[in-house]
Structure 1
């Protein structure tokens, strides 16, 4: 048997465990037929029949072994591969399909049979007339069938009966069809096998007109022309639109949301508030039928910012020297622009002396654009002007013409200085004096400032020093610092390099000259001594360390308390020493004066040595003023000493007589007597005159308490003033709550029973108090009257803060040892009150039968034991109300 399916080349394949060399034809023949036989094609012509859902393909195999595997070779989609049941209604296209059944035995034999099925055509059930819009460019005509029935098979032929315009297979483009017209289309499927062609189906399609929202134009505007677009009608940007639509905006807040006819926007305001960009406006026209949808057109208004480079500057390389050209990277930067967006820009520019127009593309970053300059354009000394012609963004829309002002800068290449004909003139000098130098023969140098590198040789040696010089009309004058030429003798001055400070251009040189340095007066060991004196005493200046000098002239000045101009004084020197008395006319003020020795001239050589660092200060002291003092009083308890007197300090000395020369120690205890004070300058020892102070020491006695003066009746509300009235003293009695460190009590303060009070006698002078206080323990029970006490007849301990406890006011003042007992109606004691526990809160704290529970509402009885003067107890009743 051979395979009828194009997917197989042989019917049977058998696998055995023996080697291929021992296989025989009989071994293969044992596998044939186990999968059944290939069938003649099975035609299924009426797929709408319910039986087409359950076609058992196993019946097409004849005799076959069970347990095989089914395969849908053409992927028809209708086969259950497990059961071999075919549902023809799931096959979407009329045609021929193949299904394979394969059996594999345990011995390795494989056999396959093919079942061929031909599915007849089915054109479906058309629906009612279909309505579609004339904007439908790809309408699927299969959508016009009745969905309540099995859908038609695909793969048939569609024909336009009214017109074929826009028809492509089953897809219809209605754009060119007439709205309001109905079009007829026929769908047919050919016969297959024994199955006849199914009846043709006609479909009717009615076309409806879609609303037109128009075709938008591009509105592109530059920021510099928006002042004429403050009332722009959006309809000016549409072509072919239907009237009556509504404009909507996206975030520009220009249209009136309550007016559907508003179509005017202020483009200038849009730019002012939102900047450049793309702004969307949508025009929507509603459909007048239920077939076509509303149509929308989107108008974009593109706003571009005009870039204004006004104020821009061009920064180029700093000036260089001609010998630096080959190693310099030339570049330029456009700067000082405002609000230029970051991005890629193209700049065109020119370089003076070159006819080429250059172009470069770089990034503008943070309003700076930097670009390289071709170095081949800078080959000689001179000035090169870089001029910017245009600056254009790589993202420009081409809407705006940017503002480009004149932007230019110069690259300067300076020459190096030349000194081929230069000469030096240096005159002889005294030691430690600056040497004056004249450099001439340099007319080839431009006027300006230069730096030279020089060296010294000979009696003074120094290498590679530098200084600045100024050249005018081919001549420069300058000084060699005295600090560099300290040694006597001939010194050579050699200039080896010169640099133009304006351009920093430099060149080597070789310019030499010699000069003589003469010795200065020997004053290396010179010192000045001046002693301090009082005013009008002579001031003698002693000079020493003058070495071998014999005659000198000094110059000096005074500063500080006394000032003077420069004084010139000739002096003779003897054994290295000289003296000089400063005239009193120069010393009119007391205080510190500074003697400044400015110069010393050797009268024999006329060389002058400056002495700016030699100075000596001296003091002209004044007598202190007589101190100001007054009579003084102290309290005895203060134990005042000499240190307590005023004035006082290290500069003052106190004495107990006018003739005493020994000052009193600061710890000396004062007495009522006369004392004398003077001021002594501890530095100069000068003393002032004596001043008198009379000292008085006040001593107070302890106040005395009158008999029973500590006893009061509490009902009288006695105060501190009441206590003071029971005391005798020489001054005014004041009371404290402690003997030491206590608080002063006001006279209006109420006395407290058993309170302890401390009384001191006092006077206003220095707030003096008596040495020891009077201690009083107050008793507020000294009441002889027997008043009628108010005894409440009830209370309400409900926690509202009003009448919550039961007590007898002021009883403790008259009867300090009283006892109040509370009983219930059964005679049980509930509570005992006394001076220290005077209030009953309605609990039975003294009951022998209760555990501090709340006493219930009702009538209770009390007994008052007065415990004084044999007064009988008092009984009564009260009502507890909760």
Structure 2
């Protein structure tokens, strides 16, 4: 170790050799590390041994500046300052420390101090004790902790019963109650003799509170039998004289120190199910051992109620899936809550011949228990009933039986539908109509809904078409949509390739075919209807053209609107594509527009009918209108009434400004006082005579305003009544806040600066208003200049009191005033006027770098009155938040 250390020191000295050589004098080689020396310490407890300067122990003439090495430590930790704390050495023995100088500095460059540390067994405590429930007691705890601790390299011996000693530890629990002696010995070192110390340990008995016999009950048990339960009977091996208590006094069953009886029935009645803990405490008769406690648990459980729970076994399959199917069952707890956790669930699987029972273990999570179902019992077509027969919460004591009710589900393994041997019937159909298909005969189709996939070929083609149909008593009916069979011919083939039971979802291939015929329809695309308007009591002639090659037809038609008949049939011969017939006047008794609708056209040669034609043609049946009934009219000038304001009105009425005029007046023609004439013209061109109507346009003079009547002083708080007092009106005067759709103002409404008011004369004789008198009010017509109060401060702190700086009423007396506020540095903080009279204590308008908030302090204002020759004033105010 010394060699390694010297190499280490040499390496570091060489790195700095230039620096050392610079400082060396011509006498450097006369320095050395001194001579070896030794020191024996037998009285290690002497405080002087905590600070031993090893340099002072060196012989010869040692030179300072070297390095001390503790030879008992590894190389990377052994360098220290040469001041030895001998009391810090935990063991007695021989220690050596080497003082080292670099070889280039001193010829005799190392010296060793040998230190012999004598034995020290410490000072024992006079009274050492422990309790017999302690399984390990360190004998070193028997020494006086206020004295220097004994060294650790001694040997303990038992003064009797040595088997209980393990190193420095004893087992009081194995020793039992009593007093035991042990000696600690450390061998001699150099001239220091061996030392020993004997300790005495007393073991005291801990009180025994016994072993508990917990009591577990179900709420359905006879709890009344335990209405006076002696808790002492739920303990074994306890010391007498203890006392019972309850944790947190949940039930208040323990009422005194001597009470040992509880009422289990009352606990359940008042507290419900749960775990109730009662503690038996036996106090210690000695100061060493602590009291002993044993807790007895009274557990009351309630049966879990699964009534109303549901079971869903996923999912129904078809017989082809039996080999690969897997099943998941989901049990949902409703509506009662249960704790999450682990449960054992027993269920049965039943079909028409067998019943098997299974138990699965899993967890209810948020009221849901999911488990996988063994497929071994689900290997054939049929209905399987799953029934829950028991549910046990594994975290419970299992003393209660769960309430289940009926919890079941049916899993169905369904057969494939089969129709290859069925009989198919399709009658010939006319073009544009769906084809009715009937399937019957040899099938296994049960009543229900099915879906087929089919193809059409031949005259009409379509692939992978699907449609749904219902089977009743072995017969299925469905239609092929007309849009899939637009082409006529005797060779359209229906091929059914697949069938699915929509109830079970089971699908099977099919090979079932049938050929059917599509007959042509009469061509009515070019048919045109023509009907002239008629007058009342005249017949109407219906003309049809564009009938093509048809020779004999039967029509079905209807009339609607003014005249109504339905499902009228007429057979007609067709010549060169044209035919006509007459609707008699006897069915056209009502004047007005009548609509003729051609519903169907039957080609009598092949029996096919073009249906839903909905070819319409309207015609009018008009009567000679009577002269209109007219009334005389009175309007107000401001109503701006027009021809549209007169009655009768409507598109059949025409108005003229004279009895002989041929110019019809438009609905927007503005009325004037005079006579107007009206007549009725119907859609057939029949006209009535003209009726004269008298029109009178009433006017009302507008009110007038006195000279300067719009000027007021705001200090007087003028109202609408004050404005009325300055107005001359010929009728009743009303004021509004807008020229159109305004609000009528009451006489006590305060006037507002710069607001325009609209005054109207109202004539009770004609119920007409005049044109508006517009008055824009000024409230600055104050002829007095009284002194007014200028505040000397404000507090903008948001408390709604004195939060702004404002000069009261100045806007009325000096409406053109300006106000400037400066801080003490002359920076403009605020500039106000009539539109901006209040300073809030911010400088947002004139930012001078203080973040918008004016600080507390004194500010200066300049007030310009701008009225007459009144001079501006200056002053100061105080802002205090």
Band of TM-score, shorter chain? 0.5 to 0.7
TM-superposed deviation, 1:325: 4.1
1:576 is paired with a residue of what secondary structure? coil
Q: In 2, are the aligned partners of 1:452 and 1:495 still within 8 Å (CA)? A: no
In structure 2, the partner of 1:857 is none
In structure 1, the partner of 2:44 is 47
Q: In 2, are the aligned partners of 1:557 and 1:563 still within 8 Å (CA)? A: yes
TM-superposed deviation, 1:451: 3.9
Residues 1:337 and 2:333 aligned together: yes
Question: Relative to structure 1, is the Cα distance of residues 602 and 272 closer, same or farther in structure 2, using a 3 angstrom cutoff?
Answer: farther
TM-superposed deviation, 1:659: 6.8
In structure 2, the partner of 1:808 is none
In structure 2, the partner of 1:670 is 672
TM-superposed deviation, 1:490: 1.8
Q: In 2, are the aligned partners of 1:624 and 1:687 still within 8 Å (CA)? A: yes
Question: Relative to structure 1, is the Cα distance of residues 386 and 104 closer, same or farther in structure 2, using a 3 angstrom cutoff?
Answer: farther
Instruction: Quote the Cα distance in structure 1 between the aligned partners of 2:721 and 2:45.
Output: 128
Cα offsets for 1:512-541 (capped at 9, x unmatched): 444444444343322333345455443333
Instruction: Quote the Cα distance in structure 1 between the aligned partners of 2:472 and 2:722.
Output: 106
In structure 2, the partner of 1:613 is 614
In structure 1, the partner of 2:414 is 414
Cα offsets for 1:757-786 (capped at 9, x unmatched): 99999742235688999x9xxxxxxxxxxx
Alignment of 1:420-819 (within 5 A): 420-443=420-443, 445-446=445-446, 448-468=448-468, 476=476, 478-501=478-501, 502-533=503-534, 535-590=536-591, 592-620=593-621, 630-633=631-634, 645=646, 652-655=653-656, 663=664, 667=669, 670-671=672-673, 674-678=675-679, 693-696=693-696, 763-767=763-767
Question: Relative to structure 1, is the Cα distance of residues 632 and 245 closer, same or farther in structure 2, using a 3 angstrom cutoff?
Answer: same
TM-superposed deviation, 1:99: 1.6
1:543 is paired with a residue of what secondary structure? strand
2:611 is paired with a residue of what secondary structure? strand
Question: Relative to structure 1, is the Cα distance of residues 586 and 267 closer, same or farther in structure 2, using a 3 angstrom cutoff?
Answer: farther
Instruction: Quote the Cα distance in structure 1 between the aligned partners of 2:227 and 2:621.
Output: 91
Residues 1:96 and 2:70 aligned together: no
Cα offsets for 1:180-235 (capped at 9, x unmatched): x77766666565554345575564x6666656555455566667769779998877
The number of residues matched between the two structures is 740
Question: Relative to structure 1, is the Cα distance of residues 474 and 272 closer, same or farther in structure 2, using a 3 angstrom cutoff?
Answer: same
TM-superposed deviation, 1:106: 2.0
Instruction: Quote the Cα distance in structure 1 between the aligned partners of 2:211 and 2:653.
Output: 111
Instruction: Quote the Cα distance in structure 1 between the aligned partners of 2:500 and 2:736.
Output: 93
Q: In 1, are the aligned partners of 2:156 and 2:167 still within 8 Å (CA)? A: yes
TM-superposed deviation, 1:654: 4.2
TM-score by length of 1: 0.64
Q: In 2, are the aligned partners of 1:103 and 1:110 still within 8 Å (CA)? A: no
Cα offsets for 1:593-613 (capped at 9, x unmatched): 443433323334444332443
Question: Relative to structure 1, is the Cα distance of residues 498 and 689 closer, same or farther in structure 2, using a 3 angstrom cutoff?
Answer: same
Instruction: Quote the Cα distance in structure 2 between the aligned partners of 1:533 and 1:265.
Output: 109
Instruction: Quote the Cα distance in structure 2 between the aligned partners of 1:723 and 1:349.
Output: 95
Instruction: Quote the Cα distance in structure 2 between the aligned partners of 1:598 and 1:426.
Output: 27
1:249 is matched with which residue: 244, 247, 250? 247
Instruction: Quote the Cα distance in structure 2 between the aligned partners of 1:433 and 1:796.
Output: 99
Instruction: Quote the Cα distance in structure 2 between the aligned partners of 1:646 and 1:145.
Output: 128
User: What RMSD in Å do the two structures reach over aligned CA positions?
Assistant: 6.3
Instruction: Quote the Cα distance in structure 1 between the aligned partners of 2:135 and 2:89.
Output: 29
Instruction: Quote the Cα distance in structure 2 between the aligned partners of 1:772 and 1:63.
Output: 131
Question: Relative to structure 1, is the Cα distance of residues 701 and 369 closer, same or farther in structure 2, using a 3 angstrom cutoff?
Answer: closer
Question: Relative to structure 1, is the Cα distance of residues 243 and 701 closer, same or farther in structure 2, using a 3 angstrom cutoff?
Answer: same
1:557 is paired with a residue of what secondary structure? strand
Alignment of 1:275-354 (within 5 A): 291-293=288-290, 295-297=292-294, 307-326=304-323, 328-338=324-334, 339=337
User: Which piece of structure 1 moves more, 190-199 or 519-528?
Assistant: 190-199
Q: For structure 1, which runs of at least 5 residues remain unmatched after alignment?
A: 1-6, 18-29, 706-718, 751-756, 776-794, 801-844, 855-882
Cα offsets for 1:476-534 (capped at 9, x unmatched): 55555554444444224343424142444444444444444444434332233334545
TM-superposed deviation, 1:103: 3.2
Instruction: Quote the Cα distance in structure 2 between the aligned partners of 1:481 and 1:61.
Output: 123
User: Which piece of structure 1 moves more, 304-313 or 538-547?
Assistant: 304-313
TM-superposed deviation, 1:16: 11
Instruction: Quote the Cα distance in structure 1 between the aligned partners of 2:768 and 2:650.
Output: 25
Instruction: Quote the Cα distance in structure 1 between the aligned partners of 2:384 and 2:640.
Output: 97
TM-superposed deviation, 1:151: 4.4
User: Which piece of structure 1 moves more, 53-62 or 594-603?
Assistant: 53-62
Instruction: Quote the Cα distance in structure 2 between the aligned partners of 1:34 and 1:569.
Output: 148
Instruction: Quote the Cα distance in structure 2 between the aligned partners of 1:733 and 1:132.
Output: 115
Q: In 2, are the aligned partners of 1:492 and 1:512 still within 8 Å (CA)? A: no
Instruction: Quote the Cα distance in structure 2 between the aligned partners of 1:746 and 1:224.
Output: 81
Question: Relative to structure 1, is the Cα distance of residues 435 and 175 closer, same or farther in structure 2, using a 3 angstrom cutoff?
Answer: closer
Instruction: Quote the Cα distance in structure 2 between the aligned partners of 1:253 and 1:451.
Output: 67
Q: In 2, are the aligned partners of 1:211 and 1:242 still within 8 Å (CA)? A: no
TM-score by length of 2: 0.64
Instruction: Quote the Cα distance in structure 2 between the aligned partners of 1:536 and 1:406.
Output: 80
2:44 is paired with a residue of what secondary structure? coil
Q: In 1, are the aligned partners of 2:499 and 2:510 still within 8 Å (CA)? A: no
Q: In 1, are the aligned partners of 2:436 and 2:480 still within 8 Å (CA)? A: yes
Instruction: Quote the Cα distance in structure 2 between the aligned partners of 1:333 and 1:633.
Output: 86
In structure 2, the partner of 1:27 is none
Instruction: Quote the Cα distance in structure 2 between the aligned partners of 1:759 and 1:349.
Output: 92
Question: Relative to structure 1, is the Cα distance of residues 285 and 255 closer, same or farther in structure 2, using a 3 angstrom cutoff?
Answer: farther
Instruction: Quote the Cα distance in structure 2 between the aligned partners of 1:350 and 1:737.
Output: 87
Q: In 2, are the aligned partners of 1:100 and 1:112 still within 8 Å (CA)? A: no
TM-superposed deviation, 1:101: 1.9
Instruction: Quote the Cα distance in structure 1 between the aligned partners of 2:338 and 2:94.
Output: 71
User: Which piece of structure 1 moves more, 266-275 or 282-291?
Assistant: 266-275
Instruction: Quote the Cα distance in structure 2 between the aligned partners of 1:614 and 1:474.
Output: 43
Q: For structure 2, which runs of at least 5 residues remain unmatched after alignment?
A: 12-28, 706-718, 751-756, 776-786, 793-865, 876-881
Q: In 1, are the aligned partners of 2:253 and 2:263 still within 8 Å (CA)? A: no
In structure 2, the partner of 1:195 is 192
Alignment of 1:357-368 (within 5 A): 364-368=364-368
Instruction: Quote the Cα distance in structure 2 between the aligned partners of 1:588 and 1:365.
Output: 80
Instruction: Quote the Cα distance in structure 2 between the aligned partners of 1:446 and 1:45.
Output: 112
TM-superposed deviation, 1:340: 5.3
TM-superposed deviation, 1:322: 3.4
User: Which piece of structure 1 moves more, 589-598 or 345-354?
Assistant: 345-354
Question: Relative to structure 1, is the Cα distance of residues 519 and 106 closer, same or farther in structure 2, using a 3 angstrom cutoff?
Answer: same
Cα offsets for 1:372-401 (capped at 9, x unmatched): 456676555444555666666676666665
